[in-house]
Structure 1
Amino acid sequence: MAGNDYVKFMTEQVVKYLDQPRDERKKQRQQKKEFKKQQKQPFLYRWFGVIPYAVILLFKRK
């Protein structure tokens, strides 16, 4: 995108956001936050990778 196109796009996005009612904006932020929580990976996988997580799954099966 050219610089002018980018400024135009960003301006449109800001105006669209500001035109929404305050309650609707809050609701959208809350939904986005809940979606991120649902997509969060397990602690061991997030911090140490796949191998410890796989070992735990193997022990749980037996």
Structure 2
Amino acid sequence: MSGNDYIKYMTGQIIAYMDLSTDEKKSRRKKHKERDALSNRWLGMVPFAMKMLWKKAN
């Protein structure tokens, strides 16, 4: 994907998000928070630590 295509894609995503109603935006944020909390509840800091080690090694 070239840089120009990426900018077009991101602009389209931003416009689509801005066109959503406030209720839909809130429900998306809530769903995202619940998903993050679930992964942290089950796995704790292990995925975060692995990601940090991976970035440090590369």
Q: TM-score, normalised by structure 2?
A: 0.67
**Aligned residue in 1 for 2:9:** 9
For 1:11 and 1:3, the matched residues in 2 are separated by 12
Secondary structure, in 3 states, of the residue corresponding to 1:20?
coil
% identity of equivalent residues: 38
In the alignment, structure 1 segments of 5+ residues that lack a partner are 50-62
Whichever of the two has the greater Rg, that structure is 1
Deviation at 1:23, TM superposition (A): 1.0
**Aligned residue in 2 for 1:25:** 25
State the Cα deviation string for residues 18-47 of structure 1 (Å, max 9, x = none).
0110111011001110111111124xxx37
Deviation at 1:3, TM superposition (A): 1.3
RMSD, aligned α-carbons: 1.8
Q: How many correspondences in the alignment?
A: 45
Question: Where in structure 1 do 4 or more consecutive aligned residues deviate above 6 Å?
Answer: none
Q: TM-score, normalised by structure 1?
A: 0.64
For 1:3 and 1:38, the matched residues in 2 are separated by 35
